[in-house]
Chains A and B, each alone.
Chain A
Amino acid sequence: MPDSQALAALCEAILAIAGEPVRVETLAEVAGEGVTAADIEGALEVVATRHRQAGSGIMLERVAGGFRLATRPEHESAIRAFLGARARGRLSQAALETLAIVAYRQPVTLPEVNFLRGVNSASVMRTLMEHKLVRVAGRKQVVGTPLLYRTTGEFLVHFGIADLSELPDPEGAEETVTGGGGAG
């Protein structure tokens, strides 16, 4: 059984240079012989606890099927001030709607998106592809064989979810969106 403190330091070092989510299996592989995924899970728990207890500006997060180090959300305004133009902007309502359709109904075709939104969403879809939030995943075997779209790993990272099953249930949020719908 390897020393979990040392293993935690090792994992942290790997994650620091990775800059993107690293799978537990990968960490176990590079940690050396005899290190199991369970050992890594334990070590990552140590890393997360250390950051939490130290009040660090950095946190360990589980996204896109792996772990990565990221800045804590509360420093957003300072980070944005520091990055200036390089900071990321908000997604437009059109982008959010299109992305939501792809995320919750994937794989989905552009005509399906257009129908659901009631507007042509081709350019929005293109933008989402450029942002690497959406990718093409084959063609639907119907007339015209339209392209099928899916979300990417980058999508999971962007929204901080480990896998698609973690997508929040919009049905709960629907109530607030519908608002006074029952009044009529």
Chain B
Amino acid sequence: MDTAVALSGETTPRPSVALPAFEGPLDLLLHLVRENRVSIWDIPIASICDQFHATLRRMEELDLEIAGEYLVVAAWLLAIKSRMLLPRRGDGEEDPRQELVERLAEYEKVKAAAAVLAGLDEMRRGVLPVTLEGPASDGDQVPLEEIDLVSLAGAMRRVIERYRREHPPPMELPPLRFTVREKMQALFELVRGEQAFPLLSHILTRPDRLEAVTWLLAGLELVRLGVVELHQQVLFAEIFVTATGRPLPAEEVADA
């Protein structure tokens, strides 16, 4: 009774008081029963009824929307309260609180079961399925079973081939270490003293193939210009170079 007075007295001056969230009128009733530390089997109905109404008034003041269910229970509580004031007619008459008690007891069981589930739910928040697929999104899945390693390798080969075709490797051009012009000049100098120069053995003894080719080209070029003559007795024998006596035309050498 004291609590009821205190609670209803509090309604006007403290609008900012935070009300616990209730799941419904039964939840609120259970809350009041517990707050008053009474048994649901022997509820001081007048006090609880007053507190229930006081809470509804406070919810109103806090601009909380009060669901119709609360009003139904509020009226029900008032009915029980008034019936409690009437004298009992005999032993056979049931306690006016009977149905309320039964519903509260049932609801308490529901809350207990909910608490069990809440515990499991909380405990298992980190328990997630392990799957190698990962959380796949439906819809855009490739028919994976149709892809085997051989066709995958084939696809890769085709990609590489196409890339190579479209991106040929750059041609390597080694720097010119020997020039025909330079060898023409050198060969011309060698045969100037009127003695025959053994070009074939000179070519065959060059350590560098490119140099050998350059000497040959230089010889042929000088022959073309009529500056030298080549002599060979038999096939594969030594090739001798002799000067014809004509001067080496400077512009022709420059073009070579």
Contacts and interface: CB of A to CB of B under 8 A. Distances in A.
Contacts, number: 163
A19 B108 CA distance: 37
A61 B122 contact: no
B112 A173 contact: yes
Given A17-B133, A94-B23, A184-B39, A70 B128 contact: yes
Given A16-B132, A119-B69, A170-B115, A184 B38 contact: yes
Given A183-B38, A184-B36, A100 B128 contact: no
Contacts of A93: 21, 23, 114, 118
Count class of interface residues, chain B: 35 or more
Given A79-B126, A116-B106, A118-B25, A181 B33 contact: yes
Contact of A80 (B120, B125, B131): B125
Nearest to A61: B127
Contacts of A73: 123-127
Interface in A1-32: 15-20
A91 B118 contact: yes
A104 B109 CA distance: 10
B157 interface: no
B221 interface: no
A72 interface: yes
A79 B128 contact: yes
A178 B108 contact: yes
A173 B116 CA distance: 7
A54 interface: no
Contact of B108 (A74, A167, A174): A174
Count class of interface residues, chain A: 35 or more
B129 A68 contact: yes
A96 interface: yes
A99 interface: yes
A19 B116 contact: no
B142 interface: no
Contacts of A115: 103
Contacts of A19: 129-133
B26 interface: yes
Contacts of B27: 118
6 contacts: A19-B130, A19-B132, A80-B125, A96-B117, A96-B118, A101-B113
Interface of A: 15-20, 58, 61, 68-77, 79-80, 86-88, 90-91, 93-94, 96-97, 99-101, 103-104, 115-120, 157-161, 167-168, 170-171, 173-174, 176-184
